[in-house]
Amino acid sequence: MMKFKPNQTRTYDGEGFKRRAACLCFKNEKEDEVLLVSSSRHPDQWIVPGGGMEPEEEPCGAAVREVYEEAGVKGKLGRLLGVFEHNQDRKHRTYVYVLTVTETLEDWEDSVNIGRKRKWFQIDEAIRVLESHKPVHAEYLRQLTDTCNPTCSSTCCGSTNGNTWALPLTDDNATHYVTSTQGTDMGPSSVNR
């Protein structure tokens, strides 16, 4: 069954990119196991939980909302891993955060409504699973060693669905843009700062 939101409004930035947010949800702060969810369009395929931002929604708030809806987890939101641009078939700009899971709901919105599943994967295994059908999601995991602080604070986001915020301190507070050129003749992904 495919997910449908009757009143969903797609939001775009000034450059025509669809605004999206996602979280790499980790079992603990070691970041060695990541939670993936089944795709609503292709239930036999695993994806990173995330989706479109609502109007006036900050990226960090959207990321927390999406993992609550799609994966049924709450946790401590950490650093902004990067801003990933996907240009292959659709123009998406996705803000990807790290979240350490502190609570796992038994039943959650997408499990009840569309039968979505979730599963923990070791990082290497998750990359292999994602590479074939969601290469940009695999790229999120490859960027784990090159991270930065979130661009928003805990006060910027309204509803957090019970999630808390942890803003790590580093000298590098710049947003990292990662352009995915997967499937084009432009070569491998590039990181812009």
CA distances from 53 to 19, 146, 168, 179 (A): 6, 24, 24, 19
Residues in the chain: 193
Q: Which is the catalytic residue, given 58, 69, 85, 139?
A: 69
Rg (CA), the chain: 15
Whole-angstrom Cα distance, residue 48 to residue 81?
13
Structural domain range at position 175: 18-192
Residue 54's closest CA among 64, 46, 62?
62
- Which residues 6+ apart lie within 8 Å of 153 measured at CB? 165, 167
For residues 58-87, give the mean pLDDT.
94
Encode burial over 78-89: b for 16+ CB neighbours within 10 A, e otherwise: bbbbbbbbbbee
Band of pLDDT at residue 146, cut at 50, 70 and 90? low
For tokens 């986001």, the residue is 157
CB atoms < 10 A from the CB of 63, how many? 32
Domain count, the chain: 1
CB 71 within 8 A of CB 49: yes
DSSP-assigned states of every residue in 78-109? EEEEEEEEE-SSS-EEEEEEEEEEEEE-SS-H
Q: Is residue 117 part of a domain?
A: yes
Q: What number of CA atoms fall less than 13 Å from residue 72's CA on the CB side? A: 18
Write out the two tokens for 8: 């969903």
Report how far apart the first and last C-alpha atoms of the chain are (Å, whole number): 40
Q: Is residue 55 part of a domain?
A: yes
Catalytic residue at 69?
yes
Q: Is residue 10 part of a domain?
A: no
Q: Is residue 1 part of a domain?
A: no
Q: Is residue 2 part of a domain?
A: no
pLDDT at residue 88 tops 90? no
For residues 82-94, give the mean pLDDT.
84
Q: Is residue 29 part of a domain?
A: yes
pLDDT at residue 162 tops 70? no
pLDDT at 176: 45
Band of pLDDT at residue 5, cut at 50, 70 and 90? low
The CATH number that applies at residue 106 is: 3.90.79.10
pLDDT at residue 94 tops 80? yes
Q: Is residue 3 part of a domain?
A: no
Q: Is residue 88 part of a domain?
A: yes
Give residue-wise pLDDT tens across range 123-138. 999 999 999 999 999 9
Q: What is the pTM of this model?
A: 0.74
